[in-house]
Homo-oligomer: A and B are copies of this chain.
Amino acid sequence: MTAGAAIPHFIRLEDLSDRQVEDILDLAARLKRGVSRAELAGRSVGLLFFRGSLRTRTSLVAAVQQLGGHTVNLTAASDFWELEARDGTVMDGAAPEHIRDAAVVMSKYVSALAIRPAAVTGSWEQERRDESIRAWAAHAEVPVINMESALWHPLQALADLLTLRETLGELEGKRLAITWTSSPTPSSPSVVHSALMAALRAGMNVSVAHPPGFGLDQGVLDEARSSAGERSLSFETGIGMDEATEGAHVVYARSWFSTETYNNPTLAATKVAAARGWTIDERIMARGADARLMHSMPVRRNLEVTDEVLDGPRSLLYAQAENRLHTQKGLLSLLLRG
């Protein structure tokens, strides 16, 4: 968790040390085998959703409950109101409350705060700062857990790491192909950012395939190159699906929006429309080295990936989704113990 901080937040995977990641994955594996823990007995965890969620919401609520705790679930649209993130402003606009106040107050009631911040209506440069989740972390007096910001989805990364390990054993030197897939409603690149950094940290060689103009965030790419360089790993990006999946042990599929056309819906739609045919089928999977498929879901069937692949033996999607539960129980145990 963030070095030097009194409160252990979980905004990105890098907030955890290697040892902490090991501990979480080990505990998750034990919990998956049926070991039972009640570390949250008598405690409440707050979940704040400024955007929709099915998997994250259900798996995190169930994780807390299975550890003996309760959740307080808050949905911005129906339950409360807009919150101000900027410091020092005269608050005469739409937001009647500042995150710094909401963060302190909520800390009085619950033992941890899990946040899925809203997408900001601004430039990608502004969005990539993750100001809202960082403001929560700056002011909360309890651990803040990122349930997917613009830049990172660290809960997914933990589940992905456990799934990769279960599937491949030792990760060092293995090949991961991350590939863009077609969708009329691409997501944030957060999942792919977190998967990319997690894989490199675990010693995997990574290639990223995407259509022109769908490159990942420049700051994340810089970090990734630096991480690959330190570890002498191969890291390629901007190549085609065929090339990226050549010899891959795992193919990670995901549709993400272009940061170049962020907040320009017309240009974005044109870009997405031009990028047709990025569908993973058996031919693509056969290019790998007995390759398995990962995808954080929701997945558009027969557009991103064919039914044949999704319902066949190569798919790890349900294992990944199940591992959300176990790794989140591991994380909560670590963050909230004692």
Contact = CB atoms under 8 A, between A and B. Distances in A.
Contacts of A66: 42, 44
Given A54-B102, A88-B302, A321 B74 contact: no
A65 B65 CA distance: 12
A317 to B, nearest CB: 7
- The number of times this chain is found in the oligomer is 3
A267 interface: no
**Chain B CB within 10 A, most for which of A62, A106, A317:** A62
A213 B102 CA distance: 31
Contacts of A109: 58-59, 62, 325
A300 B91 contact: yes
A43 to B, nearest CB: 8
A318 B54 contact: no
A165 to B, nearest CB: 18
B74 A70 contact: no
A166 to B, nearest CB: 14
Interface in A47-97: 49, 52-55, 57-59, 61-62, 65-66, 68, 70, 72-75, 77-81, 84, 88-93, 96-97
A55 B300 CA distance: 35
Contacts of A322: 105, 108
Closest 8 CB pairs of A and B: A97-B298, A108-B322, A91-B300, A65-B70, A54-B80, A62-B109, A90-B302, A105-B321
